[in-house]
């Protein structure tokens, strides 16, 4: 799926600072978009992802500090971080509104939150019907992914000082995850 997101990620990640917090980096699918030498503070609760994330960090010359924690309670001081990245993560966290509060708490004034997420389909659409129909098995098969989560409105309600958010329909045969949003929020 990497190639499906390539254009969007290149745009979103082009001006990131030398130290970045990433929530749920998994095995490191975003590493190729960070500048070599970037320090990545990786908040990844799934220990099964850690070995491959370490290997991929070396491959892309990223200095990665791994933290086996959840995104709902970040270990950083208030107003201490320049940038937080999150892609395809807000669907799986328990409390997305709490995660966004934590992101705002740790970001410095003017700090960036970069996101790319699949979201609930438009109300009444046939994709929404599919999302509702496959919700339970999808949740089980895809590590707690809530494919019908209204992340678009959750982001709008988070009260960042600035929010640039774009809707995007991903070209994929996986119809339930076609609707996406991406953008940058500023504290």
Phi, psi of 101 (to 5 degrees): -60, -40
Q: What is the pLDDT of residue 99?
A: 98
Structure confidence by residue, pLDDT tens digits, 124-152: 988 888 888 888 888 888 878 888 899 99
Q: What is the pLDDT of residue 2?
A: 63
Q: Is the pLDDT confidence value at 21 over 90? A: yes
Q: pLDDT band for 155, please (50, 70, 90 cuts).
A: very high
Q: What is the pLDDT of residue 24?
A: 97
Can you tell me the mean pLDDT for 102-126?
A: 94
Instruction: Say what percent of the chain tops pLDDT 90.
Output: 73
Q: What is the pLDDT of residue 11?
A: 93
Lowest mean pLDDT among 19-23, 40-44, 152-156, 168-172: 168-172
Can you tell me the mean pLDDT for 10-23?
A: 96
Can you tell me the mean pLDDT for 55-69?
A: 98
Q: pLDDT band for 1, please (50, 70, 90 cuts).
A: low
Q: Is the pLDDT confidence value at 69 over 90? A: yes
**Which domains are delineated in the chain?**
5-186 (3.40.50.150)
Average pLDDT across the chain, whole number: 93
Computed on alpha carbons and rounded to an integer, the radius of gyration of the chain in Å comes to 16
Instruction: Say what percent of the chain tops pLDDT 70.
Output: 98
Q: How far apart are CA 45 and CA 26, in angstroms?
A: 9
Q: pLDDT band for 174, please (50, 70, 90 cuts).
A: confident
Q: How far apart are CA 65 and CA 62, in angstroms?
A: 10
């Amino acid at each position: 799926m990497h190639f499906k997101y390539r254009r969007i990620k290149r745009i979103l990640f082009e001006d990131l600072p030398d130290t970045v917090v990433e929530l749920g980096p998994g095995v490191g699918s975003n590493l190729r978009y960070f500048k070599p030498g970037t320090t990545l503070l990786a908040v990844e609760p799934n220990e099964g992802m850690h070995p491959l994330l370490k290997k991929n960090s070396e491959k892309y010359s990223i200095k990665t500090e791994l933290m086996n924690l959840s995104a709902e309670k970040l270990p950083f001081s208030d107003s201490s971080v320049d940038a937080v990245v999150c892609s395809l993560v807000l669907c799986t966290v328990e409390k997305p509104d709490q995660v966004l509060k934590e992101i705002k708490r740790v970001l410095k004034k003017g700090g960036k939150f970069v996101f790319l997420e699949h979201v609930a389909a438009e109300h009444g659409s046939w994709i929404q019907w599919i999302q509702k129909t496959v919700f339970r098995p999808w949740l089980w098969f895809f590590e707690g992914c809530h494919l019908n989560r209204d992340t678009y409105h959750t982001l709008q309600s988070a009260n960042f000082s600035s929010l640039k958010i774009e809707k995007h329909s991903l070209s994929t045969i996986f119809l339930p995850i076609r609707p996406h949003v991406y953008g940058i929020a500023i504290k």
